Each structure stands twice: as C-alpha cells, then as structure tokens.
Structure 1
C-alpha cells in the first residue's frame, strides 16, 4: 500500500420507502435522502453521542441526480439538514451508473485523505409527485420551493434534447433502444422469438421472487409476478416495444431512497465502529459507448459492459470465479443477459445470485439511484458472515450507454495495495470500428436490428429499423414504410433480423427514411 494511504470502508447503509401515495403523505426526495442518511448513521451501531460525532465529521456529500424535483443546490440543502459544512459537494449528472461512480470516487477520496467521512445518497418520489399532479396539488404541499429556471429531468426529456437521426425517426427513448439490443442478441444466438420471450419471462419471474423477499422493495409483501404473467401479452400486460411487454419494462412510479457512509479503517477504529460493520470497496471501473445509439459497433453486445466488468475485476485483483454475489442492473432483460453472456454465466438459474434486489420492474425503478439500493443490499448480505465474501455491482445508464462496476468485500484487497488511484478506463470507447452512417439511405438493404412501438389497444403503431445498405454496407435508421411491413416486423412467426428489403428517403417526411419488405413500396403510414 502506498505510504500514508488510508483504507476506505463502508460502515453504514440505509434505505427508506414511502409506500403511501396519498397527497398528504408526499415526502420530497431531499427528506427521503435525509432519512436514509440518518438510517445509515444509525446502522453503524455507535452510541448516540459517538454517532453524532461521526455525523459532524461528514465532509463530503455526494448526491445522485433525481428525476423528481428541480433543486437549486440539493447537496447544499441536504448538508444543511445534516448540520454539516462539507468541503466537497457533488451532484451527479443523470444516469443509472452514477451511484457506483460516486461510491468509487468517494472511496478514492477517503483513501487519499481528501475526505474523512463521505455520504453517497439518492432518492426518487415519483409516486408522490404523480399523485400530486393527478390531484392538482402542485407544487406538492411542504416541498422545497424551487428555482423556476431549474427544470426536473425525465427520461423523455433527456432523450430528446436535440435534433438528430434518432429524433427524426421518433426513436431514442430507453423503451426503444433496449429492445433493439434484445432482438439482435436473440438473432445472434439463433433463438426463436418464442424461445426468447420464454427466457426473458423466466428470468424476470426469478427476479420477481427476489423482490418479493426484499423488505426494501417497492412491491414487498405482494405476490411475485409469474413467468406466465410476465411473458403473456394481455390488456394489462400490453406490448410496449417489441419484444418487451409492460412487465419487462422498468417501473418508476416509486418513493425510495438509499444512502451509504464511507470512511477509513483508521477513523472507524477511533470511533469504535464494530468490524462486523466494515465492508471494503476494492475498486471500480467504468466507461461508455457512444451517446448516439446508431453509432455503436453492433447491437448484440455492449463493449462498455464487457470492458467495465473486465477492468473492475483486474483492478481489484480478482477473478470472475472469486465473486460470490452479482447484482446486474436490470431495467430491461437484455442488461443482465449481456453481463451473464460476457462472464459466461447461465442466464437462467445461475449458480450465484445475479440480482439482490429483483430488477427495476419488481423492486422498483428508483430513477438513477437503483444501484445504490444494490449496494445497501450487498453490504447487508456480505455482513451476514455466511459463505459470501466478495460481490460485484454493475450499474448501467442511458440507453446501454454508460457503465460503472464496483467490487465489495468482507476483507481488504488481497494484494495489499491501496485503493486504485483512478478509473482504469477512458471515458469513451473510441477504438472499435463503427460503420459509416448515412442520413439519406436508398436501395436494397438488410435489417441489422429493429423494434416496433405499440398503441395502448395492442396494435402496432410504428416500426423502427436499423439496417445496412447492400451496396456499401453503410448503416441507416428508418421507419416502416407501409402497414404490411409493420405487420411483418411485429409478427412472432419469422425472424426479421437478417431479412432484406428496400429503403429510401420519404417524400415530405421530415428527413425520415422509410423501409419496405416489398420492392417499389410507396405507401405511407
């Protein structure tokens, strides 16, 4: 270990749920974070006076960006409520990878002596907010007044901030892009559409059973959704974007918060925090693919997932087989599938846990903060003193864009070295070949991947095609050009990936390309 370098440990974790959706019970995200942080402080098992000493030593407050409410200075407001004046305040950018990035950086700061006690926290109160909107009680009673110039950020807003190839074709939301990967991954493995649906339904049924047992789950106490309920398209479980019905999509209408306390072994000993409470972050790694999903190498793998997993294991001095617990982000089934595939773990019935929460459908899609709940769950599991000693958390953000991986352990690093001084990966992956993208495509083409958006009545609405021109292999984005093509894309009978068709710029279509299975198509939706 480097001379003078400290050993960071997690000494307290806390979760909060406000399951009431009554307007009079609406609690804003800041207050949920405050309660989660106070719970994390109490989790250290210190006496009341020593716990207050720990609280007063907080010098780093790191907040995961919230979708719910547009605060002017959320870390500052939370610090004020905690009665501290931190040297470091961080409010993250948006993305589901941010909790692990903040934990990684906070642990690094503690190891370098830049921080004595760090808090990482986040919360969403979308269920309460939506109840207040529906009840026409805005702003919610008692919530912090906001700066009118600061706007809350929803996934919808984050995905449509600029005019580009995606927006011209009305594609770019998570509900669109993750299905592109599921369909390509299915075709690349030679699965039928039916086999793929069964696999996804079984996977999420297994996840639902985990959430059913998790007392911090939004759905705790409710019967887990079954494989049949998840995989069968019905009026209540309608198809959103092919191949994912509603119960394979993240559920964000929740009120949840999580928090963790990070300090050094040195200070923990001074305070008398029991070693049974210590969990060691060993290191982290993260990178990202292109923000523009049409500029990805392919749609059947995620370089950012693969490289983040590999780099984290290397920097932590671990082999895959030394990991006892995994928690893979799971907004849609494709994310844990890609992680399992890369690590050569079975997708169904794995020998080791691949989720401790139960996924963003069953546990609840806690905005950007889901993986901080993964961390609190993993800390509790590792503390039990069973056979589990080391865990790995994969946090995913954007549209399979950003990744950050962190490893936790009951023991310090085996190689005796200090906490890694930096993220071993570059911010962006730039060394992989990307096909040339053509904005105006014309000619015979082949489908690389696709999805179909559905109306609420269960009928297909619009098809999205990512394809390649046969003449030069350039990639394009297109919408379906007629009803027949749309119906074929939405069918379970024949695999569309790899099928040929024709594409051309639509006349008066605002820059859209249109794709047909029949040559010479001129119809429009």
Structure 2
C-alpha cells in the first residue's frame, strides 16, 4: 500500500499577551483539526475515527506526563501506536518516514504526526510572574524558567564540558570556521556569504504567512552581517541574526494514510502527496570524535540514501528545504549536492530558516513538510526533499515528497542502513606539545568582548586530537581576529588540573607563555 499525505496544517499564535497564552498541546490540537479539515472538503469525522497512530515531536516549552495520550483524549481517538520523541530537529522527518513505513506495511490505517512550541507565550508569562500559565496542563515536573537549548549546563564529566564547549552556539561556528578554511575563503568572504544566504532566507520568511516574522520587513544581508549592539557577536563567526530564534508560538500537523483508505474515504487525489522514501543517520554524539569540521557524513549519506531509495536523482528535485539553525547546515547540504549557496538553481528553503521563520524548537521541519506538500499540490514542482538536522550537527534525516508514488511500488524501509566505517581519531584528553589548530570558535560577552576561546587541534607528534581553551590573552586576541586565519597555524598545548581535579587543556601561540 502506498502511503500518502492527505492533510496538513500550521498554527501561529502571534499574540504574546498572557491572556492569549495557548499551551503547546492546544496549538497542536488546533493544527490536527485543521489538517483533518484540509484532507476532506466535507466530513472529516470518518478520517478522524480511523486514526490509530499519534506521534508527537518533543516540545521544549512544557513538561507533559503523556502528550500523545493527552492529544488522543482531546481528539477522542484510541490509537494503538502512541509515541513521544527524544529531543532533536531531525524528528519530524524521522516520524514521517516511520509513519509511512507503518502505513505501507498495513500496521496502521491513519497516522497523525504533530509538534509545537509556545515559548513566546511562556516567556511572557514568566515576565509577568504567571507561572504556571493560567489554564495550562499540570506540568510533569517543576517549571521555574523558560527552557532554552543554548543555556543547558554542560556536564563536567566529558571533554567538551570541561572546556565549557559543546552547546549548539559553540559547535556550529566551529564547523563554519572549519568549512571556511577548507574552502580557502577569507574571513570576510565567508561572513559575507553567510549574510547573503540569510538575507535571502529572510525574504522567503517575509512571504510565508506562518513565519514568525511574516509581515515584517525582510532582513538585509548588510543588517544580518553587521555586528552591532542589537546584533552582537555570540560565538565567532555568528552574530545574533545568524543564530536560531526560538521564542515563537508555532505548531504544525500532518496526516498520512494509504491510497486505499484515502479512496475509501473519498479524499480527492488532488490532496495526495506521496512520501517516496526517508533515510537518517548520525555522526558521533561527541563532537570531538568527528571525522572533520568541514563536512557532515551524516548529511551526505542521508540525502544520498533518500534519493536512491526514492528512485530519484538530485536533478529530479524541484524544491528543497534545508534545516538552517545556523548558516553552516544549508551550506554543507548545498556543497554536497553541487548547488550554489547564494544563487542556487532551485529553492533551498520554503520557510526561511530558524532565525526568520522561527525556531519552533524541534518541530521546524514539520513546517517544511506542510509547506512543501502545499507547493507540490499547487503545481510548484513534482518532487521535494527536506533535510532535518538535530543536536550539534549530530542527527540527520531526509525525506522525499512527490506528486507520484515510488516507482518501485512499496515504500522502502531504510532503518537498518548505516554509514560504513566511521572514522574516529585518537583523542588525548590531556595534551601536551606542539600542535596545529583544526578548528575553533570564540564566545563573546554581552558587552561585545571576547571571553573564551575553544580550540580543537592535533598534536604534531602523533596526530592525536585534543580540545583546549585559550591559554593567555594574546592567544584569545589572535583567535578573535577578523583578518588572520588561525586554522592550520601552529601553537603549543599543555594540560592543567582544575580545582575539581579534572584535566583541562590550554592552547598558546607563543611557547614562551607556557
């Protein structure tokens, strides 16, 4: 049985007034009901009564005891399959892929996938000391503040945490810097490329009615690239407007069934969009164990396997949406597919990125699924591909959508496929000696001054990799340069014991300062 998407919907609660605060479950429920209406121009009750699968993307906003169960109860359905995901921006594409597999195998009849955030409303309630917000579901645990993925405490029991490095704001910039050096771009050229890319993304978001920034003037490349008091540097080379913006109230839902059941319910074929295939993989959870910092094997592999098992080539794809929490993710996808980053021959976003469309927590790519579905229905292409990214360039999942079913007949199950021979370099937790910088980033204070540098390097003596912080102010200054390329430069590293008895590495450009 061929799976088909028959209903999609997006919800945006633009108000941030406390009295208008809707919890994530309410936004998701509204999205599901709209998706049911979208699937059928008449009576949606039959489709609703056949729902036997409810998958929910993990929400950052609120700790629910059983969100899939809560939504099922509010819908008045009793699904055999209920699932709440782990955290990760890859999850919407993964859920769609897995739901399509269940539909194809006959395990379920009609599946709902949904997700949503209400961080803008929650933030407003916190400011007005209305926590928990009035009328919201009883939380499964104590809620004291607004959750932000970039403020999670780094653990002190791993190499990254010891060096205060490992959050998204640290790791994605490391890849951008590594990519720049690999491509032999100057710092200025690379920064202008990122600004131009996000300027174009902002224009897309300005035209998308569900975008958080819809109706506002699109950001220009100049404004996005210019560091200022309002656009301060976060971690080099990304100022604020190149970081994901998560304080939004957005939800989306998608309904998948089989062609047979859709026919039985009288859902018009003009509503049908076929998931043709999906594939996902991950790179090492430990960012210091990655093969390099200028490519993502998981991105390349996921796209390639998805295309191959869809029976499509990259030339067949008319529209893409590449996850874009930071500029490096769409850059790596474009690099792999041979697309121009700033003047691609095909759209590489239908939403406008997590800065301009809105981060939507883990659920950003659900909105890409709904938007590409609408575009394909409206004749704006025959095939689309969505790349969903999670973690710190860790987890990837790609899905292909089409106006036609997979030519092979059955929907492929790629879950057992894995990247062969993942290479992990030797790591020196305590490193000492002459060393070469592999990549780096510098975190800036709110006052705009560099505060801490994070360096990934290789020991010249044995090629082992290490993580370090800057060892002296002079090294921090050089790593913060807008003109000097630090990657590939030689310096010196030595271990130092912290007050907790842990080993922390320090990197110096000048051996005399060791």
**Shorter-chain TM-score tier:** over 0.9
Aligned match of 1:350? 344
Q: C-alpha distance in 1, partners of 2:112/2:387?
A: 20
Aligned match of 1:188? 182
Q: How much has 1:148 moved relative to structure 2?
A: 2.6
Q: C-alpha distance in 2, partners of 1:515/1:378?
A: 47
Q: How much has 1:56 moved relative to structure 2?
A: 1.1
The 8 Å contact of residues 283 and 406 in structure 1, kept in 2 or not, is answered as: yes
| 2:470 aligned with 1:477 | no
**CA RMSD across the alignment:** 1.4
| 2:225 aligned with 1:235 | no
Q: C-alpha distance in 1, partners of 2:138/2:84?
A: 18
Q: C-alpha distance in 2, partners of 1:221/1:147?
A: 36
Gapped regions of structure 2 (runs ≥ 5) = none
1:2-41 alignment runs, 5 A limit: 6-41=1-36
Deviations 1:214-233 (A, max 9, x none): 00100100001000000010
Q: How much has 1:521 moved relative to structure 2?
A: 1.5
Aligned match of 2:101? 108
| 2:356 aligned with 1:362 | yes
Q: How much has 1:421 moved relative to structure 2?
A: 3.0
Alignment partner of 1:448 out of 433, 438, 442: 438
Aligned-partner SS, 2:270: helix
Deviations 1:453-509 (A, max 9, x none): 000111001000000011111100000011111011011111000011111012546
1:93-132 alignment runs, 5 A limit: 93-132=86-125
Q: How much has 1:445 moved relative to structure 2?
A: 0.5
Aligned match of 1:64? 57
Q: How much has 1:451 moved relative to structure 2?
A: 0.2
Aligned match of 2:410? 418
Aligned match of 1:47? 42
1:376-415 alignment runs, 5 A limit: 376-386=370-380, 388-415=381-408
The 8 Å contact of residues 315 and 424 in structure 1, kept in 2 or not, is answered as: no
The 8 Å contact of residues 132 and 143 in structure 2, kept in 1 or not, is answered as: no
The 8 Å contact of residues 285 and 423 in structure 1, kept in 2 or not, is answered as: yes
The 8 Å contact of residues 163 and 469 in structure 2, kept in 1 or not, is answered as: yes
Aligned-partner SS, 1:476: strand
Aligned-partner SS, 1:396: strand
| 2:198 aligned with 1:208 | no
Range 141-150 or range 469-478, more displaced? 141-150
Alignment partner of 1:459 out of 426, 441, 449: 449
The 8 Å contact of residues 71 and 150 in structure 1, kept in 2 or not, is answered as: no
The 8 Å contact of residues 36 and 257 in structure 1, kept in 2 or not, is answered as: yes
Aligned match of 1:169? 163
Q: How much has 1:512 moved relative to structure 2?
A: 1.2
Q: C-alpha distance in 2, partners of 1:421/1:496?
A: 44
The 8 Å contact of residues 154 and 165 in structure 2, kept in 1 or not, is answered as: no
The 8 Å contact of residues 182 and 300 in structure 1, kept in 2 or not, is answered as: yes
1:268-287 alignment runs, 5 A limit: 268-287=262-281
The 8 Å contact of residues 156 and 162 in structure 2, kept in 1 or not, is answered as: no
Q: C-alpha distance in 1, partners of 2:153/2:269?
A: 44
Q: C-alpha distance in 1, partners of 2:88/2:247?
A: 17
The alignment covers a number of residue pairs equal to 511
The TM-score, its normalising length taken from structure 2, stands at: 0.97
| 2:511 aligned with 1:516 | no
Q: How much has 1:158 moved relative to structure 2?
A: 6.0
Aligned match of 1:3? none
Aligned match of 1:375? 369
